[in-house]
Amino acid sequence: MMETIVFDIGETITRDDRYWGSWADWLDVPRHTLSALVGAVVARGQDNAEALRMLRPGIDVAAEYRAREAAGHGEHLDETDLYPDVRHALSALREQGVRVIVAGNQTPRAGELLRGLDLPADLVVTSGEWGVAKPQPEFFQRVLEVAHAAPDATLYVGDHPVNDVFPAKAAGLRAAHIRRGPWGHLWADDADVVAAADWRIDSLAQLTAIVAG
């Protein structure tokens, strides 16, 4: 039985539409242009920040992020950024006695915004707050520290094979790959993902049945 379920954030809990749209607006390019470039780097297996570097070669993404914040165009998250199944699924899991954690590659500011949404979770934390990011093994060591459960009783749910499924399995956790967002759809039927993932799901609502066994 799964005692703890840990959720990735981007394209698992939240939609990335606003995030990429705001970057397109900041760089003064059509939103569709940046969206297409994100798709291109996803298909190549590259980090999504490469899409920004295609538009602005040599861009210092961290410095540009700070400039956006200073100009009042920084990160924003509200209820509309959540996928529709999030609140019900997380609440149902807690009713089943599961410890629910949200932990993914995001900034400290994103962590603040997510906690402000009062999600039905026992802990919401980001890589920026931990000082270590996926797919580094240290990230999943931190996950196990807060999971309060054995690795094989801890399930990590995410859309990205390289950041979520593969390193979670390497750390001894169970893994569920969700067909959601560009990464989730593109890699859903990849042979390595199929072999590595303990479960492949289309909705967070399916997790209650997994827990029930």
Instruction: Give me 72's structure tokens.
Output: 């009042």
Name the average pLDDT for the chain. 96
pLDDT of residue 48: 87
pLDDT of residue 213: 84
pLDDT of residue 149: 97
pLDDT of residue 61: 94
Cβ(81)–Cβ(16) below 8 Å? no
Looking only at Cα atoms, what is the longest distance across the chain? 50
| pTM for the model | 0.94
Instruction: Give me 50's structure tokens.
Output: 């490469």
Dihedral pair phi/psi, residue 161, rounded to 5°:
-60, -50
pLDDT of residue 44: 86
Give which of 108, 102, 147, 98 is closest to 128, Cα–Cα: 108
Under-50 pLDDT residues of the chain: none
